Chain A
């Protein structure tokens, strides 16, 4: 159990376009979902926390108008990178947690975004 999927696994887009990444909890209801970004040879950096039905909370330095997060249901959160630029190329990872076991976050497999 506790499987989180991400789609797509890899995406290449042109500079200036927007790209949407989906994160789904397949066999549990995720009251909270998190979005991370990871550059090569670096650790994960938390971008934002989203609770179902409410606005996401962004970490300091993360532009909320550039990284749009929607958590419309207990099994789906989306991250949209708007007006992507080459410096947005990164590995984007989501995680999900349930209300009854908040200490265990279940991570998706990640999405490799390349902006050309």
Chain B
């Protein structure tokens, strides 16, 4: 699976949009971009995934660049409860295993 690079930490004001970047310059054509988040001392939570088109669900939007070498997770109106570590993971969909390899992630701190 391709390697991802994320900033170690970010701050965001409550009520504003949080834009979390992820670089995956070695992504291959059949690899998807997944985002999970982990609130302190809890299990991770699936957020969204995509291949090349932008995706939106009730939690967030995922913007993938045309060359697919980077992506941005957008939380449109961040709340204090969105403070968590956000993980960007690249993997093959439906591969031999469904295992996820977590990197270090981005600690998003939403400030009041």
Given contacts A46-B99, A46-B100, A49-B99, contact A110 B105 (CB under 8 A): no
A71-114 CB contacts (< 8 Å) to partner B: 91, 93-95, 97, 102-110, 112
Given contacts A43-B103, A43-B104, A103-B93, contact A110 B43 (CB under 8 A): yes
Binding stretch for chain A, among B9-17, B19-27, B44-52, B69-77: B44-52
B70-112 interface code vs A (CB 8 A; 1 in, 0 out): 0000000000000000010000011001111111110000000
Given contacts A102-B94, A103-B34, A103-B93, contact A110 B99 (CB under 8 A): no
User: What CA separation (Å) do A46 and B98 show in the bound complex?
Assistant: 12
Is there contact, CB below 8 Å, between A107 and B99?
A: no
**Number of contacts between A and B (CB, 8 Å)?**
59
Interface footprint category on A: 20 to 34
Q: Which residue of A lies closest to B38 (CB)?
A: A44
User: What CA separation (Å) do A107 and B104 show in the bound complex?
Assistant: 18
User: What CA separation (Å) do A45 and B103 show in the bound complex?
Assistant: 9
Q: Which residues of B contact A25 (CB under 8 A)?
A: none
User: What CA separation (Å) do A91 and B38 show in the bound complex?
Assistant: 13
A4-38 CB contacts (< 8 Å) to partner B: 4, 6, 32, 34, 36
B44 in complex: contacting residue of A97, A102, A107, CB < 8 Å: A107
Cβ of A116 under 8 Å from chain B: no
A110 → chain B closest CB, angstroms? 5
User: What CA separation (Å) do A34 and B36 show in the bound complex?
Assistant: 15
User: What CA separation (Å) do A51 and B47 show in the bound complex?
Assistant: 24
Is there contact, CB below 8 Å, between A43 and B46?
A: no
Q: Which residues of B contact A4 (CB under 8 A)?
A: 43
